[in-house]
Structure 1
Amino acid sequence: MYVILVYDVDQKRTSKMLKLCRRYLSWIQNSVFEGEVSEVQLKQLTLEAKEIMEDKDSLIVFKSRDERWLQKEIIGDERSSVSNFL
């Protein structure tokens, strides 16, 4: 499945959340990630995120079956292109 993930955590936990999300998704903007993950990977990511998060923190996940169902327009500088292949 294709996901867009957005988080808002206290500054003390930002680096931990950034490292976690980068293991699963592509970093496209501050606190925003996107990419293809399996249901199991998404479940693992959210479980690990809950361990980092505290009361006033939040994590929002937008899900789609496929990236082609989303229309994305980038205005300004693109932080990271998700079309990079390793």
Structure 2
Amino acid sequence: MYVILVYDIGEMRVARMLKLCRKYLNWIQNSVFEGEITEVKLKEFMGKAHTIMDLDNDSIILFKSREQRWLDKQIIGVERGPVTNFL
């Protein structure tokens, strides 16, 4: 599946969440990530994210789609983290 993930995490935990997100998805802008991920990997990510989060103050929002092609993405201005496929 293709996801866009947005998080709002307290200052003391934000560096750990950033590091975790970069392991699973592509960084595109401050606190925003996107990419293909399996259901199993998403569950693994969410389990690790819960250990970082303060559920009374922090949040993660996930937008899910079956495939990236069903998403119309428009970038206006500078693209912060262009997604490239280097092997």
TM bracket, shorter-chain basis = over 0.9
Q: Aligned residues, how many?
A: 86
Q: Which residue type is aligned with residue 56 of structure 1?
A: N
With structure 1 as the length reference, what TM-score do the two structures score?
0.96
Counterpart amino acid of 1:2? Y
| Counterpart code for 1:29 | Q
- Which residue of structure 2 aligns with residue 63 of structure 1? 64
What is the match of residue 42 of structure 2? 42
Name the amino acid aligned to 2:69.
R
Instruction: Give the CA deviation at 1:83.
Output: 3.2
Find the aligned partners of 1:22 and 1:7 in 2 and give their Cα distance: 13
Q: 1:25: which partner in 2?
A: 25
Deviation, 1:53, is 0.2
Whole-angstrom distance in 2 between the partners of 1:14 and 1:26: 16
Aligned match of 1:77 = 78
Q: Distance in 2 between matches of 1:39 and 1:23?
A: 15
Unaligned 5+ runs, structure 1: none
Task: Extract unaligned runs of 5+ from structure 2.
Answer: none
Show the counterpart of 2:14: 14
1:84 Cα offset (Å): 2.9
Residue 67 of structure 1 aligns to which amino acid in structure 2? Q
Alpha carbon RMSD of aligned pairs, Å? 0.8
Runs of 4+ in 1 over 3 A off after TM superposition: none
